[in-house]
Structure 1
Amino acid sequence: MKKKKWNRVLAVLLMMVMSISLLSGCGGKSTEKEDAETITVYLWSTNLYEKYAPYIQEQLPDINVEFVVGNNDLDFYKFLKENGGLPDIITCCRFSLHDASPLKDSLMDLSTTNVAGAVYDTYLSSFMNEDGSVNWLPVCADAHGFVVNKDLFEKYDIPLPTDYESFVSACEAFEEVGIRG
């Protein structure tokens, strides 16, 4: 009887040791993930989250990327700066260089990065501070205006566009005379 009892106690102890070993093995992964570097990214729209968050998380599996749909309001980021809570990365829409200047000292200089090197110098200069630093980068198709050849408009008697509809009409009119682009 004693031998049966001893075997049962030993079996229970072994099961406990195995359970603890298995659980600690599982727990190690979540601890590693919790200990991994966390980058906070504030997005200016939910559309960005839906499109880019899954891709970024797939590309950086060992980094916790915390996405927050923030705000596209400079006052919001000024408030966060004053209270020590700026995120690691800010995405925004239509901040001018002048508007963003209060955040300059809290932002990384991107002027020597590969990403800044991919932007045309003439366009990048619009985002350059007086000291040559660049804290904001334009995004694709971030147009701030148009440059037109007025001589072409006059030559083909096409009115200068003043809104989106007249812009589309002008493009169609140019295409009819064989000018594309």
Structure 2
Amino acid sequence: MIRSRARWATAGLAVTALTSLSACSADASSAGASGDAEPAGPVTIEVWGWNAETGQQIVDTFNEAQDDVTVEYVLQASNVATQTNFRNAMEADSGVPCLVQGFAPLTTMVVNGWAQDITEQVEGSTDLYNEGALSAAQVDGRYYGLPTGSDGQFYMVNQKTFDKYDVEVPTTWDEFVEAGRELGAHGIDITNLAGEDPSGLMALAQQAGAEWFTIDGDQWVVNFTDDATLAAADVYQPLIDEDLVSNQTYMDRPALYKYFDSGKMASTTTQWWSLTGLQTNLPDSAGDWSAHPIPQFADATEPVTPGRTLPSFVPEGCENPEAVVAYADWLTTPEAIEAGRNKETGAVSFPVQIPDASDYVEAVIPEGFFVDDKVAGEEILAAQEQVIGKFELGPNYDAWFPELQDQWGKAVAGEITLAEALTAVQDFVASDLDDKGIAYTVAE
């Protein structure tokens, strides 16, 4: 199917969704005595993003490939600038684009009335996307986002350190804890838990099957203390209690990388996009790292990979969502992926939204970093094939995430348990939703 879609990139995108666009895109003009109207030009859509390196050249290639849709790319300074500019445009009801790179959880966009339902447009081309990408683009079973893809996590270990102390690479989270104890006896930390960063706990909860927010009719169901979330907490709690992890902060990157590079941290979870930075900043341990499947929970019926995203979306008020989806579909083609190649570095962005990205994985593996590049590529691909994508963050993420950071920091410091931290966050969410007048229940 990808090949057939690639053909319409060079054949004027001869598909119904696009060929019908120009007919309704612009003011009709007179066509001879018959008075039949002919289209005055292609549909024009404005796209906002902050890809300063290749965003414009991708759009230029799309515009040259067909005549039915013209994309105007408006470069934003950053994620934060996009939020500010978008809020201003929505409040003014002027200058609202047709496609915005995701800058906040999709539910926030839906609750605020910013993202429109594009289910009808997306359902015609779901075969172009992997399951994780499709899942992440939905709220309550409807597509409010575009399936732009989630980055699947894999497990990276310092193989030299594991081999030195004759420790087996864990395949389950129970084994991960035991490996932490074995390595801890030699003064080696199994991983790093930064006090300001609860993302690891969120990833484990997602992998375990937790659902912190679900939708039940016209109200939210809040549940930060279900069995799955507590199973995730039970992975980290003994490591914290027994002082088997480090707490290097991301606020001091040089010190963090020096620690990673020292061999005193044995493993971490990561994603493909981190690898270039790791190669640059871990010169002493380059060649010592090996890629493995992320550990699974012991009761898992099939391997799943944590990974979530902030999908791009079509704002309310855009009159041409079918043109936006046509553009998004084109981004899955080889022509589009090649158009994203950085002209200075030669790097190609890894297409995390497509079902089979094997043709592109070699390009994201840094030379000389892994023990085995082929295995690393296989693990990156497997992570994408198994990525969950969906992890609902509710209607008030901006309010509760800082509270989670605060409670996580206390737990990592040993002041409270992770179970207590999660209960505190749930209480905070309930209070905040009360204040905002948002209907909810707390799961029993």
TM range (shorter): 0.5 to 0.7
**2:105 aligned with 1:96:** yes
Structure 1 residues 51 and 114: alpha-carbon distance in aligned structure 2, compared to 1, 3 A threshold: farther
Asked if 1:65 corresponds to 2:71, the answer is yes
CA-based RMSD: 4.0
Tell whether the 8 Å contact from 1:104 to 1:135 is kept in structure 2 after alignment: no
Greater C-alpha radius of gyration: 1
Return the structure number with greater relative CO, CA threshold 8 A, min gap 6: 2
Could you tell me which amino acid in structure 1 is paired with residue 290 of structure 2? Answer: A
Q: Secondary structure at the match of 1:38?
A: strand
Residue 170 of structure 1: how far off its partner (Å): 2.8
Extract unaligned runs of 5+ from structure 1.
1-34
Deviation by residue 1:100-128 (Cα, 9 ceiling, x = unmatched):
33455542414643444432334422331
2:130 and 2:70 mapped to 1: Cα distance? Answer: 32
**Any gaps of 5 or more consecutive residues in structure 2?**
1-39, 156-168, 184-189, 191-265, 292-369, 379-444
Structure 1: how far apart are the matches of 2:269 and 2:131?
28
The residue aligned with 2:325 is none
Deviates more, 1:163-172 or 1:71-80: 163-172
Corresponding position of 1:161: 268
Letter in 2 for 1:150: P
Does the residue aligned with 1:51 lie in a helix, a strand or coil? helix
| Inter-partner Cα distance in structure 1 for 2:130 and 2:109 | 21
Count of aligned residue pairs for this structure pair:
142
Contact residue 59 and residue 73 of structure 2 kept, 8 A? yes
Give the letter for the 1:87 counterpart: P
* Structure in which a larger fraction of residues adopt helix: 1
Give the distance between the partners of 1:54 and 1:41, measured in 2 at CA: 12
> Pick from 132, 146, 156: which aligns with 2:153?
146
- Can you list the C-alpha shifts for 1:51-105, whole angstroms capped at 9, x where unaligned? 3122111123354432211353334322212222321222x15532234334555
SS at match of 1:41: strand
2:93 paired with 1:87: no
Q: Counterpart in 2 of 1:7? A: none
What CA distance in whole angstroms lies between the structure 1 residues aligned with 2:123 and 2:99? Answer: 15
* 2:141 is aligned with 1:121: no
Given that residues 40 and 65 in structure 1 are in contact (C-alpha distance below 8 angstroms), is that contact kept between their aligned partners in structure 2? yes
* TM-score (structure 1 length as normaliser): 0.55
**Equivalent residue number for residue 52 of structure 1:** 58
The share of aligned pairs that are identical, in percent, is 16
Amino acid paired to 1:97: L
Q: TM-score, normalised by structure 2?
A: 0.26
Q: Does 1:77 align with 2:97?
A: no
Counterpart residue identity of residue 68, structure 1: V
- 1:29 alignment counterpart: none
